[in-house]
Amino acid sequence: MKRPELKLYELQKQTFETQKKLLNARYLPKAGLFLQGGYGRPALNMLSNAFESYYIGGLRLNWNITGYYTLKKEKKILDINRSSTDLQSEAFLFNTKLSMSQQNREIRKYEELITSDNEIVGLRESIKNTSKEQLQYGIITANDYITYVNAEDQARQNLAMHQIQLLLAQYTYQNTTGL
In three-state form (DSSP H/G/I as H, E/B as E, the rest C), the secondary structure along the chain is CCCHHHHHHHHHHHHHHHHHHHHHHHCCCEEEEEEEEEEECCCCCCCCCCCEEEEEEEEEEECCCCCHHHHHHHHHHHHHHHHHHHHHHHHHHHHHHHHHHHHHHHHHHHHHHHHHHHHHHHHHHHHHHHHHHHHHCCCCCHHHHHHHHHHHHHHHHHHHHHHHHHHHHHHHHHHHHCC
Domain assignment of residue 123, yes or no: yes
Share of the chain above pLDDT 90, in %: 65
Give percent above pLDDT 70 in the chain. Answer: 100
What is the structure's pLDDT at 102?
96
Determine the Cα–Cα distance for residues 55 and 37; give it in Å rounded to an integer.
4
Residue 100: give the domain boundaries.
Answer: 4-19+70-177
Minimal CA–CA distance to 78: which of 119, 126, 22, 153? 22
Mean pLDDT of 120-140: 94
Position 38 in a domain: no
Q: Check residue 42 and give its pLDDT.
A: 80
In a domain, 119, yes or no: yes
pLDDT band at 72 (very low <50, low <70, confident <90, very high): confident
In a domain, 125, yes or no: yes
> pLDDT band at residue 55, thresholds of 50, 70 and 90?
confident
Predicted pLDDT of residue 99: 95
Q: What is the pLDDT of residues 148-176, one digit of tens each?
A: 999 999 999 999 999 999 999 999 999 99
Q: What is the rounded average pLDDT for all residues in the chain? A: 91
Number of folded domains in the chain? 1
Q: What's the pLDDT score for residue 48?
A: 80
Q: Does residue 25 lie within any of the structural domains?
A: no
Whether residue 43 is contained in a domain is answered as no
For the segment 46-59, the average pLDDT, to the nearest whole number, is 85
Q: Is residue 32 in some structural domain?
A: no
Tell me, what's the pLDDT at 120?
96
In a domain, 31, yes or no: no
